[in-house]
Structure formats: C-alpha cells, structure tokens
Structure 1
Amino acid sequence: MLDWLQKWYKNKFSDPQVVTLFLMLLTGFFAIYWLSGMLAPVLVAIVFAYLLEWPVARLTRFGFNRTISTSVVVLGFMSILILLLMWVVPIAWYQGRNLLRDLPQMIALGRTYLLELPELLPGMVGEDQILLLMQSVDERVMTFGRTVLSLSLGSIVDLVALLIYLVLVPVMVFFMLKDKTELSNGFVQFLPDERKLITQVWHEMNVQIMNYIRGKVLEIVIVGTVSYAVFSLFGLNYAMLLGLLVGFSVLIPYIGAAVVTLPVATVGLFQLGLTPEFGYLLLAYGIIQALDGNVLVPLLFSEVVDLNPVYIIIAVLFFGGLFGFWGIFFAIPLASLVKATAKAWSTRVHPADPAD
C-alpha cells in the first residue's frame, strides 16, 4: 500500500507545473474563503466586467478606442440598470408589504385545507400529523418574522453598504474593462515561469466563465419576464414579486425551481382556490420550468454545462456551504474548474520510470 502511494505521489507531483497549479488553486481557495466578505465588491465588479466584455470587444472591433468603448458600455448599462431598478424595486417592495399583510389569511386558509385532509384521505393522513405540521409552520413563520425584523433594524447598515457598492463597483468595472491587458500582464508577473498547465486551465475557464455569466443573466431576465407576463395574464396578485423570485431561482439549479414553487402555489391557491384556473396556473408554471430546463439552459450553456445534474447539485451544496451566495452563483464554473483541472492533471505525460 505504501509503495502504491509513493508511486502515485511521484507520478502526480513530480512535475513542477502540477505543483504550481495545485498551490495556486489552494491559495485562491483559502483567500476567497477567509476574505470573501471584504472581497464582495470586487467579486460583483468581476461579474459585471465579464458581462460587459462582449459589447466592449465588439465596439473596439469597429475601430473605437478601448477607453471610449468602455465608457459608452458602462454608462449605458448603468443607466438601463438604474431605470429598471427604479421601476421594479418600488413595485416589488409594495407587493412584498401586501404579501406580508395577507400572510396570516393565507395561513388560515391553508389550515382549513389541511384540516380537511383526514376526511379526504382516511387512513393515510391523521389529525395528529396535521396538527404537528401546523405547529411546525407556525414556528417557521415566527422565525421568518424575527428575521424580517432584524433585517429592518439593520437597514441603515445595509444602506451604507449599498452606497459603497454604487460607488465602488462601477469604478472598478470601468478600470477592469479599460485596463484589461495591463491588469492581466501585471497578474502574470506574479506567476512562476513554469505556468503552461495554469495557462491551459485558465484559457478554458476564462471562456466558460464569460459564457456562463452572460447566459445566467439572460436566463434570469427571460425566465423572470415570462413568469411575470404569465402571472399578470392570470391576474395573480404580487405578479412582479413572484416573477422576480422565479427569475432569481435559476441561480440555484434544480433546487431553486423546487423551492420557489411553494410561494407561487400558495398565492395561487389563496387567490383562486381549488378551481380549474388554479390548475391552469400550475400547468403554465410547469411549462415555464420545463422550457427553461430543456430548451433555454441547453441553448445558453451548451459550451459550459457539460456536467451531470448530480454533480451540479453536489457543487451547489458544497460551494454554497463554503462561500454562501457566491459559491451558489459560481457553483457550475467551480465544478467545471475541478473537472478541467482533473483532466489537465490526468493527461500530463510523465517520463517513463527508469528500468530497474
């Protein structure tokens, strides 16, 4: 066993480039793990820089200066983003307040339906089970209320953080795009000379991250907009808020779609009752999710998501538990990084062992 381990270690770590790649990944992992709170504005700026690199590159191909192209794209993007926020956020905030106001009535209606289950399903559901479920729901609602209260008490701190983001992030995005070549060359100077393997992995991941961020933003916009249109067509209350929830649920593959189904079904049941319209609403929502998973995702991420769904869910749980929101957002690229690293590592050609 010891001889096998020694042979494996010599085969995998005898190449200096493999050791360099391993140390780089390990350093980056611990840096993000310990400094993720302080680096959050930088991560946001990197996401926006990747998103806007495509239009900046297109403008430069038409002969525009890199600085001018960056200025036009960043100003245009920030203007559109601010206009959307000024339209969407007040409506979503108002609908969220109304939802919290109507929540007790929804819970009461849900209790009514639950208490009828023992009669509808005799022998399968007992009254004790219903009462235990209702007690659990009450405890969760109280916990949610305390969470909302703590968030409202910390709104001043959140406002200050938001102002910092509004100032720092656009500035960093502008210089990341304008000085892309200089920043890349400056970073490369810190790398060792034996970096062929790092370059191989980086080139593969750079394209994947760019495509992933652009595709994920498009998926959020398309799914959220279509969901809002469908909910509005059914006359559903809180259509904007629910559309936002469905749109952002795509950040968490598979799990997000399952979780956001609960508020959609709850609001629909409270407003429409057990009617055919409620069934049509759930059918339309199911069609949206099916088209997203079977048409939109393969179309947008055909070059990025080459992973089994089981690996994606494991990556979401693992990296989300380590890095929080950013771990969830970058779960697929991080899983792809692990795959690309393992592929580059396993395909390294080592010199044959000398004959005994």
Structure 2
Amino acid sequence: MVDAALVLGFTLAGVALGTASGLVPGLHANNFALLLAATAGAVPGPPAAVAAAMLAAGVVHTFLDAVPALALGVPDASMVATALPGHRLVVAGRGREAVRLSALGSGLAVAGALALAVPVTRAMVAVYPTLRAHLSLVLGAVVAVLVATERTWPARVAGVGAFLAAGALGAATLDLSPSAPLAAGGVLTPLFAGLFGAPVLVEAIGGRGVPRQADPRVRLDRPAVVRTGLAGTLGGAGVGYLPGVSAAVAAVVVLTAMPGDDPPPEARATGPFASDGRGDAGDGDGDGDGSGSTATQLDAARRYVVATSGVNTANTVFALFALVALGTPRTGVLVAVERSGEVVLPVALAAVVVAAACGFALVL
C-alpha cells in the first residue's frame, strides 16, 4: 500500500518541476523527460510515487508552457499576417486572454479525458491490432488531411516537402547509436533540442517584445470554449494512441472537422491572414482594428489555442491509459514512467487530478 502523504509530496515535487520546465523558454516536455528516464531508477522512493511525480510534472508543463510560447518571438505588427495563432492574439493585445484560454482548454481536456478514458481505451484495445497492421495507411490519411487543409497549391507542395524532409531526418538518424552522457539520451537528445528547443529561442531573437495587453476577459462565448475544449480532448485521444500524431496536428484535424471552426490559416502557413500582408494589431484594448474579418480571424486563433492546449493535456491522460492497456508509452514522460516501475493506475490518476488543479490555479 502506497502512503498517501508520500505520494502527495512526490506529486507536489512534480508540480514544482513541471512549473519550472513549463516556464523556461525552449525547454520542451520531451527534453526533461529524457533526464527523468535516465535518473528514474536512482530516485529514492516507491516506484508509484516516483511515477506520480513524473506525471504531475508532465501535466503541469502542459498548462504553463503557453506562457513563454506566447511571450517569446512576438512579431512586429507589420508581420502579424504570418504570426502563429497565439502570437496573433498577443499582437492584438489579447495575450492575457490567450493564456486563460489555454488554461481553460487544458482544464476541460483533463475533465473530458478522465470521463472518456475507460470507454475509449476499451475501444482502442479492440481495434488496435487492426490499426497497428495498417498504421502506415492511417498516418498517410492524417498527412493527406493536413495537406488538404492548405488553401493554395504552393502551400500544399511545401507541406509535402516538409513531411518528406521530416521522414528523411528520422530515417537517417533514429537507427544511430552515438555515445551520450546519459543512457536515455543518445540521438534523441540532439533531435529534441534541435526540433523543439532551439527554434523557440531562435525565433525569440527576432521578437519585438510584448505590446501593452488588455484585460484577461475571455471573448469567446462559453459554448464555443466548451465545444472546442472537448474536441481537443478527442484529438488528445488520437495523439495518445497513435504514434506520429502531435498536438498541433490533432488540433488542425479536429478544428477542420468542426462546422464553422476552421483552424486559423497561419497555423497552416497560408490563407486569408496572408492575403494582403497588412497587420491588424490593436492598441491593447480590443480585437485589432475592430473589423468583422479581424474579429473572425481572432476567434479562429482563440479556438486554435483552446484546442491545442486541450490536445496537449488530454494526451497525457490517454497516453497513461495506453501504457497500462497496451504497454506502449506514447510520450517522453510516459517512457520515464514506464522505466520507473509498475504503474499503479489509481495513484497515477490522483496525481494527474492534483497536478491539473495546481496547473489551472497557477495559470489563472
């Protein structure tokens, strides 16, 4: 029997670790998960408590990583047409709202994932052998959907090129076994640092700083927030069970499937945002220039922030169930959890709930 106080202590330690990793620019959850995986066996304490700390760190990270993501690399107003959805809100003076939307998306995702995890897992256990046997076709269909969301042929060609380049990188590197200071590192450490860490910091160099921000009041109506958050939860299920599908990919897919909730075109690197090259940055008090098209564009960015955060957080819950039911860790954190020893599901779920409550409170 695991001591509840000990588990709570480890969980709160994980909350502190996730807070630090979430707020440090350029530090992706997969980066510190490698360190956790390398040191899991040396941490004193019951394996269930160590796993609780790792899960708590991963959950809190998904709540707080929106803060540096929104604050770094904010473009000049004249470049807002090519900005990321979150940065577009920051330039329009709605950055504090974007952080709150991210927290709402993550909070809704935890609640939705906990409610859906058991039935979804049962369904996935039944169909997983078929999915596994035809995984290349499934992932090919996902790629086709992503390419189809691009609105111009040059953008579609660029998307296919990016996909082929990523595949070539994996084929060239994943079978290598270079020596590394940590046994869990190897080729993954430089790959994660180069793909997830360095781009954020490089982009931040060209940022012009954060403009004056308005109040954090959420301007997306409540039904839209709930609907998008729950859609992100379903996307998180896909990420949790299917290899090769990221949170951003799942967010684009689920928003494309929702009537009237197309993902913001800058999330696809093309579309109406890039149609005239003009910025629409506001004065920090509202939604840009107040035009109807600008308001619609910012609403699309809001939905994208909610959906992406929801997918990212729900992924942790579904990946936990995938590890227990299928024995397949789908995230770096779950790899570390697997190496820490046997997973005690009730303890792990309690850690997720506590960490989600802490993450929500820290952001708001």
The bucket for the TM-score relative to the shorter chain is: under 0.3
More helix by share: 1
Larger Rg: 1
Q: Could you tell me the TM-score, scaled by structure 1's length?
A: 0.23
